[in-house]
């Protein structure tokens, strides 16, 4: 299934392919503040509909995750990094996807503060 997503103002827009079987809520210092619900997919399943330069990037701590956000409206629609095996991954904020019933998505809580 193809899901369309964007930031609030539409400057950052994308499509992502896959079935949402669950999402992760992390309590690290950035995720706690963003309130994001993340769905992880291979980076190749994320297709940007706007130029990559439309999104700004924030990194912190070990600087291995690119937290992508819209510099106009401030929304964080996705992030980029690698999984433990070195595969390129995208973390999609399902709150930025169109037509998603958030109450129907199982959420796993992750203790990112402990890292």
pLDDT for 19: 97
pLDDT at 115: 77
Q: How many domains does the chain have?
A: 1
> What is the CATH classification number for the domain harbouring 58?
2.170.150.70
What's the pLDDT at 110?
Answer: 93
**Measured between alpha carbons, how far is 5 from 9 in angstroms, rounded to an integer?**
11
Per-residue pLDDT, 64 = 85
pLDDT in tens, the chain (115 residues): 999 999 999 999 999 999 999 999 999 888 899 999 999 999 999 999 999 999 999 998 888 899 999 999 999 999 999 999 999 999 999 999 999 999 999 999 998 888 7
CA dist 84 to 4, 64, 87, 105, 114, Å?
Answer: 27, 12, 8, 25, 17
Of the candidates 63, 44, 54, 64, the one whose C-alpha atom is nearest the C-alpha of residue 6 is: 54
Q: Are 14 and 5 in contact (CB under 8 A)?
A: yes
* 81 vs 78: CA distance, rounded Å: 10
Find the length of the chain. 115
How many other C-beta atoms are found inside a 10 Å radius of the C-beta of residue 45?
Answer: 16
Domain containing residue 45: 2-114
């Amino acid at each position: 299934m193809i899901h369309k997503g964007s930031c609030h103002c539409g400057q950052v827009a994308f499509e992502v392919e896959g079935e949402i079987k669950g999402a992760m809520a992390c309590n690290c210092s950035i995720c706690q503040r963003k309130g994001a619900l993340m769905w992880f997919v291979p980076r190749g399943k994320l297709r940007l509909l706007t130029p990559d330069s439309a999104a700004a990037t924030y990194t912190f701590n070990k600087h291995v995750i690119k937290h992508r956000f819209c510099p106009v409206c401030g929304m964080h629609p996705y992030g980029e990094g690698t999984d433990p095996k070195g595969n390129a991954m995208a973390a999609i904020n399902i709150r930025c996807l169109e037509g998603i019933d958030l109450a129907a998505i199982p959420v796993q809580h992750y203790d990112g503060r402990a890292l």
